[in-house]
């Protein structure tokens, strides 16, 4: 018998060509394998966006100038405390979004991580001094709820903060930022600002966080 008549049956027996029973068994095995893979994928615990998974904010925090006073408590179970109120929270990588547990009011706090330190940006509203005219950022500003909090931004790019701290600044209105360059006391500080008309603006100033130093219980 010619050699070819032996080779073809052998190949058919190995890979199942032309045999309905072996093809059916193969399909069944592939279906079972597909189901197993799908089930395994569903059971893998992927990190959830907007939850505690991987968020650097989880912890008990205070400002670096008063480490014994708690400011922000962020827990892995999705709850948080801020300014004496209870919240649920989400982290989108730029903002900590707090939702009031009772009113559903949302509070968004910008944050950044710089050299291992978390910077929490606190928004404050400033009003322009009526007696000192100006356009855009340039001019004199006072805190809406705190008269002791002031900014003066001059056209020569010098600033005066709270009547005490001086330096130069670089403004980027398109990005909504200004950089405060202090000659001493503080590192250069990037702030975010948002104008509301010409006489009102919101400034987000960064404050370094440290772990809350709880007082030992008596």
Banded pLDDT at 46 (limits 50, 70, 90): very low
Who's near 138: CB < 8 A, 6+ residues apart?
A: 153, 154, 155
Contacts 24+ apart (CB under 8 A), 167-172: 171/137
State phi, psi for 170 to the nearest 5 degrees: -125, 120
Q: What is the pLDDT of residues 69-81, one digit of tens each?
A: 999 999 999 999 9
Q: What is the pLDDT of residues 62-117, one digit of tens each?
A: 999 999 999 999 999 999 999 999 999 999 999 999 999 999 999 999 999 998 89
Residue 147's pLDDT is 73
Compute the half-sphere exposure of residue 110: CA atoms within 13 Å on the CB side of its CA.
14
Model confidence pTM above 0.85: no
Identify which of 180, 133, 174 has the alpha carbon closest to the alpha carbon of residue 160: 180
Q: What is the pLDDT of residues 123-132, one digit of tens each?
A: 999 999 988 8
With 0-12 / 13-18 / 19 or more C-beta atoms within 10 angstroms meaning exposed / middle / buried, residue 113 is exposed
Q: Do 44 and 189 meet the contact criterion of CB atoms below 8 Å apart?
A: no
Is residue 152's pLDDT more than 90?
A: yes
């Amino acid at each position: 018998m010619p050699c070819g008549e032996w080779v073809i049956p052998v190949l058919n027996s190995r890979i199942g060509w032309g045999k309905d029973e072996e093809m059916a068994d193969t399909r069944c095995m592939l279906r079972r394998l597909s189901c197993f893979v799908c089930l395994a994928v569903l059971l893998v615990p992927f990190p959830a966006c907007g939850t505690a998974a991987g968020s650097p904010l989880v912890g008990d925090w205070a400002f670096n100038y008063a480490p014994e006073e708690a400011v922000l408590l962020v827990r892995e179970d999705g709850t948080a405390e801020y300014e004496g109120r209870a919240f649920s929270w989400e982290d989108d990588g730029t903002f900590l979004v707090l939702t009031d547990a009772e009113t559903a009011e949302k509070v968004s706090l910008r944050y950044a991580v710089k050299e291992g330190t978390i910077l929490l940006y606190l928004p404050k509203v400033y009003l322009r001094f009526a007696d000192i005219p100006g356009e855009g950022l340039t001019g004199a500003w006072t805190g809406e709820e705190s008269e002791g909090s002031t900014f003066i931004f001059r056209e020569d790019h010098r600033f005066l903060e709270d009547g005490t701290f001086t330096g130069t600044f670089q403004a980027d209105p398109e990005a909504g930022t200004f950089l405060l360059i202090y000659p001493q006391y503080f590192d250069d500080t990037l702030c975010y600002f948002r104008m509301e008309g010409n006489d009102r603006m919101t400034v987000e100033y960064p404050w370094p966080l440290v772990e809350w130093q709880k007082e030992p219980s008596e």
